[in-house]
Homo-oligomer: A and B are copies of this chain.
């Protein structure tokens, strides 16, 4: 393989129907299918340069050379890419997130989707979107959802080959806005990779998973019909169910801060007043306020009046992972 370089971008995504707990931790086969929206403008941009032979992989993240766990995780992913492409070369990886770490937006989905797309392209290989989604999934489960465009469904599957994501509606299908109310910039105590294996320690996980397909179907249909009332009900229920499992795990994972609960209470109240907004929270305290774009200005204004809200990030439905340059 001659050394070549490629750069790819991939958006973060916010899950409407959550993924929590794996049926296979090593393969990152999730316990249930999930649904998400890519977040336009909030992306990782990753450049991969394959070297001419074996050696140590290198990783520079946001201009800072990495070692330890971040490098090991990227290198383990490159190892899977090498196995799939039949190469043994080392790689230099440079990646930049254009959104701050700790901004309430999971960075690993964007990072591993962009890394996968760039690494494959830099090797001169071509994979289908499905193959890219499968490969990205092995780096970070939700990265599978950052590969396709717009509104995305990730089929849990029951094997490596059957667990992948695809678009079920393009980014311009429904003018939703995700307003992320930042209530804490602290790094989360327990990240998703460490958190997923704890899911089965909650008595409630099996019941959550048993109902997941029904919520998935209802959410998918609500998006296709642009039915905000149904969408809001199922999205909040699904978020509450995931956090119910987290907080009843042993030991308990408690991601909500007082300010998170304040925003959640107000969002329910605002919706009762007629604004089209609902909340969802990932494995962290920041509150994603999903709203109809027409109501976004008023909701952002209200969020910014709250003392506990440090900042608000806004994103529309975004595109899938794409290669932006190949040398």
Where the two chains meet, the residues of A that have a C-beta atom closer than 8 Å to any C-beta of B are: 203-208, 210-211, 233, 236-237, 240-241, 244-245, 247-248, 250, 252, 254, 256-262, 264-265, 268, 308
Top-10 shortest CB links A-B: A244-B244, A258-B258, A207-B207, A203-B211, A258-B262, A204-B204, A258-B261, A204-B207, A240-B247, A261-B261
Copies in the complex: 2
User: Known contacts A256-B261, A265-B257: does B207 contact A241 (CB below 8 Å)?
Assistant: no
Which residue of the partner chain, among B244, B248, B254, B308, contacts A265 with CB atoms under 8 Å? Answer: B254
Task: Give the secondary structure class of A's interface.
Answer: helix
Contact between chains at A248 and B244 (CB < 8 Å): yes
Contact between chains at B252 and A237 (CB < 8 Å): yes
Offer 30 A-B interface pairs, CB within 8 angstroms, sorted by A: A203-B207, A203-B208, A203-B211, A204-B207, A204-B208, A204-B241, A204-B244, A206-B207, A236-B252, A237-B248, A240-B244, A240-B248, A241-B248, A244-B244, A244-B245, A244-B247, A244-B248, A252-B268, A254-B264, A254-B268, A257-B261, A257-B265, A258-B258, A258-B259, A258-B261, A258-B262, A258-B265, A258-B308, A260-B261, A261-B261
Knowing that A204-B207, A237-B252, A240-B247 touch, tell me 15 more A-B residue pairs with CB under 8 angstroms: A203-B207, A203-B208, A203-B210, A205-B207, A237-B248, A240-B248, A240-B252, A252-B268, A254-B264, A257-B265, A258-B258, A258-B262, A258-B265, A260-B261, A261-B261
**Chain B residues, Cβ within 8 Å of A205:** 207
**Chain B residues, Cβ within 8 Å of A265:** 254, 257-258
